Copies of this chain bind each other. A is one copy, B any other.
Amino acid sequence: MVTRLRLDLAYDGTDFAGWAEQPGQRTVAGVVRAALETLARGPITLVVAGRTDAGVHAIGQVAHADVPAAMVADLRRLNGLLPRDVRARDLAAAPPGFDARFSALSRRYAYRVHDGVADPLRRHDTLTWNRPLDLAALRAASVPLVGLHEFTAFCRARPGATTVRTLLALDWAREPDGVLVATVEADAFCRSMVRSLVGALLAVGDGRRSEAWPASLLGAPARADDVLVAPAHGLTLMSVAYPPPDEFAARAERTRARRTGPQSG
C-alpha cells in the first residue's frame, strides 16, 4: 500500500545546484529525497511543481512523493533530517488525483532588486543594481507582456518544446525599505524565462531601453542575445496554485496532453 504525500517546501537556494538531481552536486531534490527515504526506509520518487535553477530560492515550493502507507509523515522528524537551508512547511496526505507538477494551475515568482544600498542581511536574495530604477517605467513596460504570447526571445533554447506561455501577472512594487519587487505569474515558464523578463525590464528601468522594447521581442523566432538573464539569487518561487481537489485529475490530464512539463523560472 502506498500513500501520496504533498510536501510544502522553503529553501535558501544559495548553496544548491538547483532543484533537479545531478550526479556529484548538492541539490534540493537530493537532500529532500534522502530525508524522505530515511523515513520511508526505501527508495521514493519526488515530483515537483517548479524545477528551480541553481541559486534560485523558494518559499512556497510544492512536491509530491509516493511512500509506504505505514510511513509516519511527521513534519518535525522530517525537518530534523533536513539541512538548515531547507524546511518542510507542511507534510500531509495528498487528496486523490493530486500531482504536484501536472495538477498545478500556475506558479508565482518574486524577483527582488535594490537600486540603492541594500540590507546586507538580504544580500542572498536581493540583486543590487548600480543605476537608479524608475518604477513607473518598469510597470509600463511590463503591461504588454501579460497574456498569451510566444516567449521564444526570453527562453533558453530547448529543441521541440513550445515557448508559448500565458503570463498571468507581471507587476512591480517598491517596498518601504526601497527594494523593488517584481511579481511574475504564469501557467508555466520556459527555461530562464522569469530572469530574462526581469533582465529586459531592468534595461528599461535604468533608462537604457525604451518602454516598448521588451514587448517588441514577443513572437521573435529565437532567443534575444541582448536580453540579460538576471542573476539567480534575486529570484524566489513564492507559491503554486492548484484547482479545487475535485479538479486535480482532470487538470493533470489536460496539462500532460499539452506539453512535456513546466521548466524552472
> Which A residues have a C-beta under 8 Å from some C-beta of B?
10-12, 57, 59, 75, 79, 84-89, 117-121, 123-125, 236
Question: What B residues does A236 contact at CB under 8 A?
Answer: 121
Q: Give the docked Cα–Cα distance between A117 and B12 (Å).
A: 14
Whether the Cβ atoms of A123 and B10 lie closer than 8 Å is: no
Identical subunits present: 2
User: What residue in chain B is nearest A124 (Cβ atoms)?
Assistant: B121
Q: Give the docked Cα–Cα distance between A117 and B7 (Å).
A: 13
Whether the Cβ atoms of A86 and B117 lie closer than 8 Å is: no
User: What residue in chain B is nearest A123 (Cβ atoms)?
Assistant: B84
Whether the Cβ atoms of A12 and B123 lie closer than 8 Å is: yes
A10-B120, A59-B121 are known; give 20 further A-B pairs, CB within 8 A. A10-B117, A10-B119, A10-B121, A11-B120, A12-B120, A12-B121, A12-B123, A57-B121, A59-B119, A79-B117, A84-B120, A84-B123, A85-B120, A85-B123, A87-B117, A87-B120, A88-B117, A89-B117, A121-B124, A121-B236
Question: What B residues does A86 contact at CB under 8 A?
Answer: 120
Q: Give the docked Cα–Cα distance between A86 and B118 (Å).
A: 10
